[in-house]
Copies of this chain bind each other. A is one copy, B any other.
Amino acid sequence: MANKASKPTDALIGHDAWNIQLDKNGNLKHFLTTEGLGSDMLTRILDTAESFANVNEKSVKKVPLLRGKTIVNLFFEASTRTRTTFELAAKRLSADVLNINISTSATSKGETLLDTLKNIQAMHCDMFVVRHSDSGAAHFIANNVAPDISVINAGDGSHAHPTQAMLDMFTIRRRKGHDFGALRVAIVGDVMHSRVARSQIHALNTLNTGEVRVIAPRTLIPVDIEDMGVNVFYDLQNGIADADVVIMLRLQKERMQGAMLPSEQEFYHLYGMTEERLQVARPDAIVMHPGPINRGVEIDSSVADGPRSVILDQVSYGIAVRMAVMTMTLGREKENREPEDAR
């Protein structure tokens, strides 16, 4: 029952591994997981993102905060969408960006991962944005690179995807206000394989969300999920009743192992979000999805494109949240923000 993909997490990360995210002054140095960070820090990330969201909404978008810095996208797992958001965030901060697809490069020459990392860090890079199919990979890298390099986790196995979780928190705060305590949030779908869900639950708990629910078939719920302080529902209608926020998860077809799920049709029949089913949620409920969406599997097009959907807002805010994390981990969030083209 235990998620095979998450096994390395325990070994690699351990109980206090998240401490490495902060420097000795309590500032953010790496951003590997939402777990273990206090509400002050999460709120600071959201507030910093707020300043960049304003920048994003005007025509002037580029600021020189990270001019002269080198950010390396280290993608061990292909993801054009995620890589693009980090690349855009970096460029709008005036950083230089290197895209390195590791699977097709050095390691194919027989070099070890550690040798590859040490080589790239020897080139005086400032930040690694890491995507990897193994849980714990970003922690491993943060533990093994030079002290002056910041690591941002862009998704590791089924472990964590903290920037996605923070853009979700940002979206909720923009739509529902700053009092998370007044909110009931329902997370629907493949919780088992979802690094997004794990990072969301940690962030929602830290921000003192009123109630966090997960809704899925038994085979897609991790056995220890209730230890995370969430209420488990196997029935969709019961689960989203009176919810203020409904977060649909992507059915990670490529991560499904064996026959835990009968078919996409059956999933849609039982858990697919439709306008009709959404009636039991709060009238002003918002519907979220990390994308890319599987229309007609976890969500109906009428919902995805409907008035309650904030799915594309999530994408927009994602740039601002990544700009926030990048400047904070490099200690530059208080620097000059005079736009590039006004100089």
Q: Which residues of A contact B (CB under 8 A)?
A: 56-57, 59-62, 64, 67-68, 70, 78, 80-81, 84-85, 87-88, 91-92, 96, 98, 100-101, 104-106, 109-112, 115-116, 118-120, 122-125, 253, 291-295, 312-313, 315-316, 318-319, 339-341
7 residue pairs from A and B, CB less than 8 Å apart: A67-B340, A88-B96, A109-B292, A110-B253, A111-B291, A111-B292, A123-B319
Provide the residues of chain B in CB contact with A318, threshold 8 Å.
123
A234 and B57 alpha carbons, distance in the complex (Å): 57
Contact A312 B64 (CB under 8 A): no
The chain B residue sitting closest to A146, CB to CB, is: B312
A330 and B124 alpha carbons, distance in the complex (Å): 24
Q: Which of B106, B124, B312 contacts A80 (CB 8 A)?
A: B106
Provide the residues of chain B in CB contact with A84, threshold 8 Å.
98, 100, 120, 123
Provide the residues of chain B in CB contact with A106, threshold 8 Å.
80-81, 292
Output the least CB separation between A92 and chain B (Å): 7
Given known A70-B91, A104-B80, A123-B85, contact A293–B341 (CB-CB < 8 A): no
A96 and B122 alpha carbons, distance in the complex (Å): 23
Copies of this chain assembled into the complex: 3
A60 and B294 alpha carbons, distance in the complex (Å): 45
Provide the residues of chain B in CB contact with A112, threshold 8 Å.
295
Provide the residues of chain B in CB contact with A253, threshold 8 Å.
110
Provide the residues of chain B in CB contact with A339, threshold 8 Å.
68
Provide the residues of chain B in CB contact with A68, threshold 8 Å.
59-62, 339-341
A120 and B78 alpha carbons, distance in the complex (Å): 17
Output the least CB separation between A227 and chain B (Å): 32
Contact B92 A122 (CB under 8 A): no
Given known A109-B292, A295-B112, contact A119–B312 (CB-CB < 8 A): yes
Provide the residues of chain B in CB contact with A115, threshold 8 Å.
291-293, 295
Output the least CB separation between A295 and chain B (Å): 7
Output the least CB separation between A320 and chain B (Å): 10
A120 and B87 alpha carbons, distance in the complex (Å): 12
Apart from A111-B293, A122-B313, A124-B316, what 13 extra A-B contacts exist at CB < 8 Å?
A59-B68, A62-B96, A70-B88, A78-B104, A80-B100, A84-B123, A88-B123, A106-B292, A109-B292, A110-B294, A116-B292, A119-B292, A122-B315
Provide the residues of chain B in CB contact with A80, threshold 8 Å.
100-101, 104-106
Given known A98-B88, A340-B68, contact A122–B316 (CB-CB < 8 A): yes
Output the least CB separation between A264 and chain B (Å): 10
Contact B312 A124 (CB under 8 A): no
Output the least CB separation between A170 and chain B (Å): 14
Provide the residues of chain B in CB contact with A340, threshold 8 Å.
67-68
Contact B315 A123 (CB under 8 A): yes
Contact B316 A123 (CB under 8 A): yes
Contact A124 B292 (CB under 8 A): no
The chain B residue sitting closest to A60, CB to CB, is: B68
Provide the residues of chain B in CB contact with A62, threshold 8 Å.
67-68, 96
Max chain B C-beta neighbours (<10 A), residue from A57, A85, A124, A315:
A124
